[in-house]
Structure 1
């Protein structure tokens, strides 16, 4: 449980930073929001995160494009059921591909584009109430660490945006390829230079 929580949490943060580096306009807007909330204090405290709607939208969009665990925990049907014309017999193991749902053209407009604004003024949340957005799964078998992961990632991302200017280090390019595995890691690490914001 500890390994799963730390691996997915750190991986989500890496993906979010990667997307911010690829989208300077979004990075700048997040930094402006963070600096407005921070007001010169040493750091942004947890209680101020609720005042940062753009931060929340950035993190939601990062999770949509880069679901930490692409295939959710499998389910097993307890009775015969018919779904969208398909017969699912009792005892069938069902795997939910959250990665494919998050990039489905019939659900999302321009699903491959990183656009946090799609989550501004949107009722979608992390808890699995909206089946088109399942970064933490849903129901009784959803991730028990949703609140922890969201709080930690939002707090870290807010403070990084507040305190630093980021740029890719040297001649390195930003390859957003994914690895195969239980958790979707970046195939190549990001080499980033952080300069303290004055």
Structure 2
């Protein structure tokens, strides 16, 4: 419970920051939105977050490409089923590959590219959400046994990310290019970055 409620959120935040550092044009746009909404305030509030549509799109895109738990919690089929020609006997253990679903070219245009605006401007994907109703994006699972902490996790990540982008400017150290950032994933229950993410934070006044 503790791991599921903390490690997943920090992993998602890490992947999101890594993608923003790889794509400085996206970083610039999201900072303009965050700072425009929270101009003159000392801290980011939940009311501010509701106006940050690009921030929400960036987090959705990070969840699509880097679900913190790439293989969802195993399930057991309750009866004999046939899915797309495959026979699934009752009592079969079924594991959903959320990582592969998020990279499926049938559902996503240029699935290996980080394109947050697909959730804002694309008629086919702009209405897709991660709450378990759209099976193209199910990092938290779906149905009655989906993750019970979806809203908590997303709220924490939104507030943390917005605060980091509001208070600081970010860059890779030693003039490293975003294209050279190591995005290798580690195998395991949680999908971590293989190499530690090092970034230089400069206070924004």
User: TM-score higher than 0.5 here?
Assistant: yes
Partner of 1:64: 64
Question: Given the alignment of the two structures, is residue 154 of structure 1 paired with residue 158 of structure 2, yes or no?
Answer: yes
Partner of 1:112: 112
Partner of 2:184: 177
Question: Given the alignment of the two structures, is residue 123 of structure 1 paired with residue 123 of structure 2, yes or no?
Answer: no
Partner of 1:50: 50
CA distance in 1, matches of 2:100, 2:168: 33
CA distance in 2, matches of 1:120, 1:128: 19
CA RMSD of aligned residues (A): 1.1
Aligned residues: 198
Is the Cα–Cα contact under 8 Å of residues 37 and 44 in structure 1 kept in the other structure?
no
Structure 1 spans left out of the alignment, 5+ residues: none
How far apart are residue 82 of structure 1 and its match?
A: 1.1
Partner of 1:97: 97
**CA offsets per residue over residues 135-189 of structure 1, 9 Å max, x none?**
1111122111100110000111111111111011226552010000000000001
Deviation beyond 4 Å, 4+ runs, structure 1: none
**CA offsets per residue over residues 10-30 of structure 1, 9 Å max, x none?**
000000000000001100000
**CA offsets per residue over residues 79-122 of structure 1, 9 Å max, x none?**
11111111111111111000001001111100000000011162
How does the TM-score come out when normalised to structure 2? 0.93
Secondary structure of the residue that 2:174 maps to in structure 1? coil
Partner of 1:132: 136
Structure 2 spans left out of the alignment, 5+ residues: none
